[in-house]
Structure 1
Amino acid sequence: MNDVIRQKLKDLPQSPGVYIMSDASGTVIYVGKAVNLKNRVSQYFHSSVKTEKTMKLVENIVDFRYIMCATEEEALVLENNLIKKYAPKYNILLKDDKQYPFIKINVKEKFPSVQVVRKLVDDGSKYFGPYMVGVNTKDILELIGSAFPVRSCNKDLSHLPSSHRPCLMSHIGRCLAPCSGNVTREEYGKVISDVISFLKGNDEEIKKVIEKKMYDASAREDFESALYFKNRLHTLDKLIRQQIAALPKDYNMDVFSVLDNGVYTAVSVLMVRGGKLVGGDNYPVESINSGLVKPVENSENKAKDELELNRNLLEQFVLQYYDNMPDAPDEIVVNTTLPSENALLSVLSDKFDKELNIIVPQRGIRKQLVEMAENNAKNYLDTFVVKQLKKYNLTEGAVQKLQEILRLPSPPARMECFDISHFSGTDVVASMTVFQNGEPKKSAYRRFKVKVQQNNDFESMHETLLRRLSKIGNSEDESFNAHPDLIVIDGGKGQLSRAQDAMREAGVYVNMISLAESDEIIYFPDKSEGLYLSRRSPALALLMRLRDEAHRFAVDYATRLHTNRLKVSSLKDIEGIGDKKTDILYNHFKTIDRIKAADVDTLASVKGISRADAEKIRAFFDGKNQK
């Protein structure tokens, strides 16, 4: 604990609020909330017994600040907003990459359609879901379509041509065809009400309808249709079998269980809708530990600390989980008490405008569901650890191996690779790809248009490296400003030598090697002989992935430029537009599509292009568009 923290601890107020912890670089690494800021923040530094996770966090704290709040509810909401803003490495951040499907009915439309969507829009529609693992929304739509003749199309019924005719779905009895004008809003609305009732868990009506259609088809000896409806009944029966006997059919709840194996943490979610278990999923929570570590020795105090971490984690998870939901069930079941349960209930009740309950069950069906979720989390973690170990060996583990092999002073956390690409000496470009801790960091990739005129890979590499290295520490571009731990040149000794020249001219020092593509030999600046690594080496595999990514990125860029230049060359077919004016247009607009989209005034505003030229260009493209 440094002097800054020691003094700030003395000045902390005994009031609700949020604390924001930073590391040596000023990066926010943890955000927490507290009913009493002084007591909570002091615990991090004064407690004698901590888990491995807490110790790892505290080791990295160099400074903290706090924001006082009027209430615990206010602190909970602010904590959630700051976690989303900063994405601290030691907080849970529920990512949006799991876009579960919902069934949407826009009840504000005169004749609503029933659709599957993955994005929620605040447009007054009714959303049912999300439908997680174990439920196929296509099956549900097929069930709805087989029983209730509602439309599933996106047609704007208010702007149909007079010649419009209903589609096949109307002819086979799967749609009332409101597009034909032969059904009233009230008649269609009754069918939509039946659909909504089914989606809320009432399956008696849909079962009766499908059974009747099956028997009617059989009676008229339409056995193909009868088999279709029989299969729909099987689908419905599968959904009905998910009914939990101990719960009423109109019962809805979400079950959350958090589980920690000492290395990783997971939250398992189960959804109960209409008394049925309709799905669930598991969410990994990134460990505070960097890399794989052994579970900490258990002790009473450490167990309490671990429990407190998991309680806070689960509370953050629940709040973030419902951020993106259109509704919440009346009951939220969890496997441990939450530190600010009343505040969480208040926030969620206000959001969904209804009273909610949070329950930690001790017995009965809810306890069984909690245990089911815990088992799901345990099985998930067992598999997750194996996957993470494989991933670690290919990423951070490979970075560690690379440090040993190349004898670097520290692991090359940030690696950059450079490659040159061109088309027979034209459209020469270079790429810079970046791997951070063994994984691609695509936001840091950069491209260069090489200015060297002649077809010379060595000079192109020299120019590219000089431009890149000259920006270290003095660029507003975050990626160019960063100092790489290792630079990899795609090529052999010649490219590496010119890259070294660029480094000396730029006045910086960076560890640098090259990787020859033909035989995967690693070359060093100060050695004549290259280094061969086994094809099974994770370190070589990492270098090859980095190099191949640089090659792909460069080729893609060169191809795009070359293709665009060929298109632009068609401008020379226009009377009065030669090489000079073609270059002027290309340099100004960058792409042929932008030139095509420009009107006469925009074209004429370009220096070197007259209004007569602009009119000819516009006429040229307008004529092409008419063909």
Structure 2
Amino acid sequence: MFDIQEQLKKLPDSPGVYIMKDKDKNIIYIGKAKILKNRVRQYFQSSKHHSPKVQSMVANIAEFEYIVTDSELEALVLECNLIKKHKPRYNILLKDDKHYPYIKVTMNEEYPRIVITRKIEKDGAKYFGPYTSTTAVRETIDLIKKVFWIRTCKKEFPRDIGKERPCLNYYIKQCLAPCQGNINKESYRQMFRDICAFLDGKQDALIDKLTRDMHEAAERMDFEKAASIRDKINNIKQIAEKQKIISSTLSDQDVVAFAAGEDEACVQVFFIRGGKLIGREHFIIDGTSQMESQEVMTSFVKQFYNSTSYIPKEIVLQEDIDEASIIESWLTSRRGSKVYITVPRKGEKQKLIQMVAKNALETLQQFEGKLRKDKQFVQSALTELKNYLSLEKLPYRIEAYDISNTGGIESVGSMVVFKNAKPSNSDYRKFKIKSVIGPNDYDSMKEILYRRFKRANKESDLIKSGELNEEDAKFYQLPDLILVDGGKGHVSSVKEILNELRINIPVFGMVKDDRHRTRAAATEDLEINIPVDSSAFRLLTQIQDEVHRVAITYHRKLRSKKIIQSELEAIDGIGSVRRKKLLQHFKSIDKIRMATIDELTQVEGMDKRSAESVYNYFHAKNK
């Protein structure tokens, strides 16, 4: 037995991380301490000053362990990483662990490129962002291409200059064709320096520079170039007008504020770069009703900036946070230059905080409204389904199955899971049909149900013997209801398997009409009509559409892969290993077809002879 009082006496007076566990040895809380001895003992002293949340946590602590670190900063980093890994129930947890997209300008290359990335590296390139969606990034890059006529090909310069004729973009005046040497390296790099200035929010300086270039071109009577520059200036002005200047400091800032609800809080982050708002994001945190606002803000800052790639120069907060100086030091070490955490009480920054907090409150109210509607739908849908199908209990876990094939080729099965009337993607399973030849849906359905529940029985035995943990099992949890895409015959097939395995779970079919839309539920003997305006029918339709989508997507993927493999099998000297490497490198048969011999030789395992074989095969075929 773990003697808590005895172990408390052995705690060191060093910085470190402490890990609280319950009677089942599950980690329920992770914290850091400047002095472990003092911090951990506080939990087990008088509880009258503890919050209800801490009291509840302490009541569940059966044992604890700790990790000593050399400094408080090391303890902070370790705490963040352990919380992210174990997700303890009493820690504040960010559900949205997002890696935001950034625009990367490869100024470290002779001929720069623009790419989308979610990881910032110290490689000499310039990074701009974060953007809150890939769509926003692509729109920005499309605008840059329109204004600056940069290349979009994957050719390597200067190696590939002059090797092939220019692409279509050159002829439609969307590329300056550096592949032909039409623009020298320094001029091309200067264009990318202008792009960086544009992305950095310095549109005014860029417009001034382009205006001078336009006048110089006009004076030389190069009116075509002057008109082109004029169009660029107009496009940049239109973009600049859409960006809202909300900070006169013109620095990089994140502004963080939150609004608290009944049992959750919404934290809003505004990303300000060069004084302009480039994006915003919100995070919903559950279980905050018994927490101080300072605790909410501190936990958010640590978890959010432990995951994000970019740390701005200044982080403006609505509330003070615990151990602000050590967190500042941590963020400074991550950024590589000084980071300031400020909590403004007046002035422009305070007005920014108020604006962000207002947005957080509005988002929280929308979330709570949606949450209430979702709860009402879940309760009504499951209750109605129970009544229409005469079930003994509410079907909290529903499993649905479907078969997909083309003339019996690449036949597959899908299993989707709905928990509390919502899809549980992590529980989805896909099956390749192994024992059935030809298009036989009944036998295919029997096979996947047999494999699924046979595996469940095996895992159950392993759990009972202690050889498998319940959380590691993939098929152990059984459904309250089984739905199959089909009618009476499909239901009979499934029941035959369940009876053989001595499993008693209700089974119903999902019948479609002539237009492949959900029509009714089915037993072995009859169809059950469910009102189309009911929540139960809406849920049934959603489940049937989802299981069909998963099955047909998996089938198409396998069929497409087989077609590609068959195409490559016809090429002399290209065996299974090289086929696999080619597909991993180029991702599609079309890209392999368009590749040059030099590009093919860059693939692992491809020599010049095999590259020529692939190239000649496709080009001879095209002729």
Query: Structure 2 residue aligned with 1:329, among 300, 312, 315?
Result: 312
Superposed CA deviations along residues 589-625 of structure 1, whole A, max 9, x for unmatched, are xx6367557958879xxxxxxxxxxxxxxxx999975
Q: Which residue of 2 aligns with 1:231?
A: 234
Q: Which residue of 1 aligns with 2:401?
A: 418
CA contact (8 A) 1:19 1:32 kept: yes
The answer as to 2:550 corresponding to 1:553 is: yes
The answer as to 2:248 corresponding to 1:264 is: no
Do the aligned partners of residues 119 and 16 (structure 1) sit closer, same or farther apart at CA in structure 2, a change above 3 Å counting?
A: closer
Q: Distance in 2 between matches of 1:338 and 1:484?
A: 45
CA contact (8 A) 2:243 2:277 kept: no
Query: How far does residue 179 in structure 1 lie from its aligned partner after superposition?
Result: 5.8
Residue 77 of structure 1 aligns with an amino acid whose one-letter code is V
2:327 aligned counterpart, secondary structure? helix
Query: How far does residue 225 in structure 1 lie from its aligned partner after superposition?
Result: 4.8
1:373 aligned counterpart, secondary structure? helix
Q: Distance in 2 between matches of 1:144 and 1:158?
A: 21
Q: Distance in 1 between matches of 2:59 and 2:571?
A: 53
328-337 vs 7-16, greater mean Cα deviation: 7-16
Q: Which residue of 1 aligns with 2:364?
A: 381
Query: Structure 2 residue aligned with 1:474, among 439, 452, 458?
Result: 458
Q: Distance in 1 between matches of 2:132 and 2:560?
A: 43
Do the aligned partners of residues 68 and 499 (structure 1) sit closer, same or farther apart at CA in structure 2, a change above 3 Å counting?
A: same
Query: How far does residue 362 in structure 1 lie from its aligned partner after superposition?
Result: 1.1
Superposed CA deviations along residues 309-331 of structure 1, whole A, max 9, x for unmatched, are 4133322344235x322xx3332
Q: Distance in 1 between matches of 2:62 and 2:49?
A: 21
Residue 367 of structure 1 aligns with an amino acid whose one-letter code is Q
Q: Distance in 2 between matches of 1:159 and 1:515?
A: 60
The answer as to 2:289 corresponding to 1:306 is: no
2:283 aligned counterpart, secondary structure? strand
Q: Distance in 1 between matches of 2:62 and 2:522?
A: 43
Residue 109 of structure 1 aligns with an amino acid whose one-letter code is E
Q: Which residue of 2 aligns with 1:18?
A: 17
CA contact (8 A) 1:512 1:524 kept: yes
Q: Distance in 2 between matches of 1:361 and 1:199?
A: 28
Query: How far does residue 111 in structure 1 lie from its aligned partner after superposition?
Result: 3.6
CA contact (8 A) 1:214 1:229 kept: no
Do the aligned partners of residues 157 and 397 (structure 1) sit closer, same or farther apart at CA in structure 2, a change above 3 Å counting?
A: farther
CA contact (8 A) 1:169 1:175 kept: yes
CA contact (8 A) 1:393 1:538 kept: no
TM-score norm. by structure 2 comes to: 0.72
Query: Structure 2 residue aligned with 1:366, among 338, 343, 349?
Result: 349
Q: Which residue of 2 aligns with 1:67?
A: 66
The answer as to 2:499 corresponding to 1:491 is: no
CA contact (8 A) 1:211 1:233 kept: no
Q: Distance in 2 between matches of 1:122 and 1:261?
A: 41
- Describe how 1:236-247 pairs up with structure 2 within 5 A: 238=241, 242=245, 244-245=247-248, 247=249
Q: Which residue of 1 aligns with 2:430?
A: 446
Q: Which residue of 2 aligns with 1:579?
A: none
Q: Distance in 2 between matches of 1:468 and 1:412?
A: 19
Residue 231 of structure 1 aligns with an amino acid whose one-letter code is N
Do the aligned partners of residues 180 and 417 (structure 1) sit closer, same or farther apart at CA in structure 2, a change above 3 Å counting?
A: same
Q: Distance in 1 between matches of 2:477 and 2:138?
A: 46
Do the aligned partners of residues 115 and 548 (structure 1) sit closer, same or farther apart at CA in structure 2, a change above 3 Å counting?
A: closer
Residue 320 of structure 1 aligns with an amino acid whose one-letter code is N
CA contact (8 A) 1:214 1:230 kept: no
Q: Distance in 1 between matches of 2:96 and 2:358?
A: 23
User: Which runs of 5 or more residues in structure 1 are unaligned?
Assistant: 290-295, 297-301, 569-590, 604-619
TM-score norm. by structure 1 comes to: 0.72
Residue 279 of structure 1 aligns with an amino acid whose one-letter code is I
Q: Distance in 2 between matches of 1:546 and 1:8?
A: 54
2:238 aligned counterpart, secondary structure? helix
User: Which runs of 5 or more residues in structure 2 are unaligned?
Assistant: 460-467, 578-612
1:283 aligned counterpart, secondary structure? strand
The answer as to 2:595 corresponding to 1:592 is: no
Q: Which residue of 1 aligns with 2:533?
A: 536
CA contact (8 A) 2:491 2:509 kept: yes
Do the aligned partners of residues 169 and 552 (structure 1) sit closer, same or farther apart at CA in structure 2, a change above 3 Å counting?
A: closer
Query: How far does residue 54 in structure 1 lie from its aligned partner after superposition?
Result: 7.1
The answer as to 2:62 corresponding to 1:76 is: no
Query: How far does residue 30 in structure 1 lie from its aligned partner after superposition?
Result: 5.1
Q: Which residue of 2 aligns with 1:293?
A: none
CA contact (8 A) 2:23 2:61 kept: yes
The answer as to 2:269 corresponding to 1:284 is: no
Superposed CA deviations along residues 500-524 of structure 1, whole A, max 9, x for unmatched, are 3322322344344443334744456
Query: How far does residue 193 in structure 1 lie from its aligned partner after superposition?
Result: 5.1
The answer as to 2:246 corresponding to 1:255 is: no
1:255 aligned counterpart, secondary structure? strand
Residue 534 of structure 1 aligns with an amino acid whose one-letter code is P
Q: Distance in 2 between matches of 1:363 and 1:19?
A: 38
Query: How far does residue 151 in structure 1 lie from its aligned partner after superposition?
Result: 6.5
Q: Distance in 1 between matches of 2:616 and 2:408?
A: 34
Q: Distance in 2 between matches of 1:397 and 1:15?
A: 55
CA contact (8 A) 1:394 1:538 kept: yes
2:231 aligned counterpart, secondary structure? helix
- Describe how 1:53-452 pairs up with structure 2 within 5 A: 58=57, 65-70=64-69, 71-87=71-87, 91-93=92-94, 95=96, 97=98, 99-102=100-103, 104-114=104-114, 117=117, 119-132=119-132, 154-162=154-162, 177=178, 180=181, 183=184, 185=186, 196=196, 199-213=199-213, 225=228, 228-229=231-232, 231-232=234-235, 234-235=237-238, 238=241, 242=245, 244-245=247-248, 247=249, 249=250, 251-274=251-274, 276-288=275-287, 302=290, 305-321=291-307, 323-325=308-310, 328-394=311-377, 398-399=381-382, 402=385, 411-423=394-406, 429-443=412-426, 444-449=428-433, 451-452=435-436
Q: Distance in 1 between matches of 2:532 and 2:50?
A: 43
Residue 315 of structure 1 aligns with an amino acid whose one-letter code is V
